[in-house]
Amino acid sequence: METGLHAYQADSDVESPTQVMASLSLPRNLLMCNEVKRDYNESYAEMKTTYTEKLGVSCQICGCKSSGFHYGAYTCEGCKAFFHRCTKKNIIFQKCTKGANCRSNNGSKYRCRLCRYQKCVQAGMSIDAIRVGRMPNTEREKLRANRTDTIGYRRRLLDISNIITTNVTKIFFKSSMFDDISISNPIDDYSGFVISKLDSFGFHQLGVINIYYEMLIPMIKDTIKFAKKLPGFLDLRLGDRVALMKEGALSVCILMMHGSFIGPHVQLNGKTTNLYLTQEAIFNCSETQTLLGKIIQISERIQELDLHRTELALLAAMILLADNLLLEERDRIRSFADEVTQAMQMESNHIRSNDSDIYLAVLSLKENLKQTSMEFIGNLKNGYYCLPVDEGSEEQLLLKEVFDI
């Protein structure tokens, strides 16, 4: 069966290319040249689409979609032409009015030509690298390998994020319907004692610290369960697991209990008694102010940040995997902690459209939680607070172990 040009020539109803060219006024050689040029341009355009779209190449200068490998860098057509003009015409640039930091906030372009040209040079662009539009095989294969590695790493981070978020939901909130749980909302219905005035005598008479322990102990148990669910945690040495729990357990508890400390009343839910303290009562009593003052401030900050459930979960994991001088497998723990941190950055960028401020705020919050926990444990060791009175009870032994008393 004849194909291609021969098939057209054999068909009596279709004019041959010779007949078509004879009927036109353009010279034969010029027509053939235009056809070849058109075919080449179409093939070349398709080749560039394959290189850029399938490989996901961005312009190294402005971040827009790249059209190919120009002057030694992956650039868009605009930046390629800009560098060509600047180099050929020897343009003298005016000084940047923004102190060499003039990128626009809502786009990728530069406000002045000097900064844009310097970015070209930093990216390795040179007039000697004249392979305009052509991506060398070695560069293309390297780009494919890097893209594959990046995709694989992002998938790993996503898996880590999903595991941690799922376990936080199951362990701390006991339900998959996380969004329906008002963990961050102040209570409206008070079914216990509302205290509007409090002094040192009343603090001890009401047993505020014991009610706080009754609220804290179940949360510590949940934190231990959560730590065991962290990928790789149970593979660590026992000494390292204990050291990580002692360092981070109370911070995680405060993080997960923050909904109880928001609003006009602080709620302390014990086994048999629910105690509600007004802000006035708390800050007029030195004991409650020392116990709850900074926790209230941290809880209000958490509410302001409006952390997503995934961010809350990853922050809890970051706290439990924080670096510790007592760790034996320090490098191994650091490696996993770095992955959790990268997962936090990835999720926050996705949730909040690349808002870098939220990540810095989370790191600051992590340090505040650690400092508040250390202060409480220090006061406990110095006798400012007493442990539960049931000597030798399971609850007291648990607190002694976690707080290293």
pLDDT in tens, 171-229: 987 643 333 333 444 444 445 568 889 999 999 998 999 999 999 999 999 999 999 99
> Using CA atoms, how far apart are residues 237 and 251, in angstroms rounded to an integer?
22
Q: In this predicted model, which residue has the larger pLDDT, 16 or 303?
A: 303
Average pLDDT of the chain?
Answer: 76
pLDDT of residue 34: 52
Q: Would you kindly state where each structural domain of the chain is located, as residue ranges?
A: 4-54, 68-135, 152-402
- Please write the tens of the pLDDT for every residue from 285-331: 999 999 999 999 999 999 998 888 899 999 999 999 998 888 999 98
Token pair 């190919």: residue: 68
Q: Indicate the class that CATH gives domain 152-402.
A: mainly alpha
Predicted local distance difference test score (pLDDT) of residue 319: 95
- pLDDT for the residue 238: 93
Q: Tell which CATH classification among 3.90.1720.10, 3.10.105.10, 3.30.50.10, 3.40.50.300 matches the domain 68-135.
A: 3.30.50.10
Residues facing residue 341 across a β-bridge = none
Residue 142: band (very low, low, confident or very high) from pLDDT cuts 50, 70, 90: low
Q: In what order do the strands lie in the sheet with 274-278?
A: 193-195, 274-278, 265-269
Mapped onto helix, strand or coil, the DSSP state of residue 123 is coil
**Residue 28 has what pLDDT?**
47
How far apart, in whole angstroms, are the C-alpha atoms of residue 396 and residue 115? 63
Question: What pLDDT is recorded for position 356?
Answer: 61
Residue 230's pLDDT band (cuts 50, 70, 90): very high
- Determine the pLDDT at residue 296: 94
Return the beta strands (E) in 151-190 as ranges. Answer: none
Predicted confidence at residue 59, as pLDDT, reads: 80
- Assigned token pair, 52: 């850029």
The pair of three-digit structure tokens given for residue 209, joined into one six-digit string = 């610290």
Confidence band, pLDDT 50/70/90 cuts, at residue 35: low
**pLDDT tier, 103 (very low <50, low <70, confident <90, very high otherwise):** low
Q: What is d(CA 265, CA 243) in angstroms, rounded to the nearest whole number?
A: 35
Rounded CA separation 276/6 (Å): 93
Distance CA 192, CA 180 (A): 24
Tokens describing residue 334: 């650091």
Length of the chain counted residue by residue: 405
What are the structure tokens assigned to 393, written together?
A: 């009870």
DSSP state, residue 65: B
pLDDT at 180: 35
